[in-house]
Homo-oligomer: A and B are copies of this chain.
């Protein structure tokens, strides 16, 4: 007997099939109506089977989000490479982030605004290496570069990053939740925010 048949490495095929179905269901019905029973029905197995391949609902959703973050991080890198001016690069990265968040509302919702906000749990963000974490460090590094290059005035890079990040985060949040509010488009709002905020940060 294999003493440690590491959880959920039994039959990768079905695990992958579940994730695939979960992704589709998630987009079909939205985060609100995504349930284990529905997923089971969709994938053609009984609900309990899901618990053989995943620890719980959160585990499934976490996997979905990590998958998306992979894509996000790739886009971040692409944008960063395509822009030589460090300040412009910083701005573009945040504009991308805002657009990305708004384009994947359900994922963003469940990742950062859910009751059990996936990336806010004590054991997650700093201790475990998640793609969300890597994205954060990636962006912070760009801020550090800007300060080092003298493009941004000397300041605590952590604080600058967080100010930019939370502000962008707020735009996405508003876009997701204030459906009826006649909010300016994410692009316009993001442009306004970043232009003026960065002006304040500039040397």
Name A171's contact: one of B31, B170, B172, B189 (CB within 8 Å): B170
In Å, the complex CA distance between A159 and B190 comes to 10
* Interface size range on A against B: 35 or more
Residues in chain B near residue A121, CB distance under 8 A: 179-180
A window 165-203: CB within 8 A of B: 165-174, 177-184, 188-189, 192-193, 195-201
A125 on interface, CB distance cutoff 8 Å: yes
Once the chains are docked, how many angstroms separate the CA of A38 from the CA of B1? 47
A32 interface residue (CB < 8 Å to B): yes
A184 touches B200 (CB 8 A): no
In the bound complex, what is the Cα–Cα distance between A55 and B168 (angstroms)?
36
Give this chain's copy count.
Answer: 2
Interface bits A118-130 vs B (CB < 8 Å: 1, else 0) = 0111111110000
In the assembled complex, the Cα of A55 lies from the Cα of B197 at a distance in Å of 44
Tell me if A46 is interfacial: C-beta within 8 Å of chain B.
no
- Asked whether any CB of chain B lies closer than 8 Å to the CB of A27, the reply is no
Q: Judge whether A163 and B196 touch: CB under 8 Å.
A: yes
Please name 7 pairs of A and B residues whose Cβ atoms are closer than 8 Å in the assembled complex, sorted by A. A112-B177, A113-B177, A122-B180, A125-B178, A159-B184, A166-B173, A169-B174
**Which residues of A does B touch, CB under 8 Å?**
31-32, 112-113, 115, 117, 119-126, 158-160, 162-163, 165-174, 177-184, 188-189, 192-193, 195-201
Known contacts A120-B177, A163-B189, A166-B189; 8 further A-B pairs (Cβ under 8 A): A121-B179, A123-B180, A125-B180, A162-B184, A165-B174, A166-B171, A169-B170, A197-B197
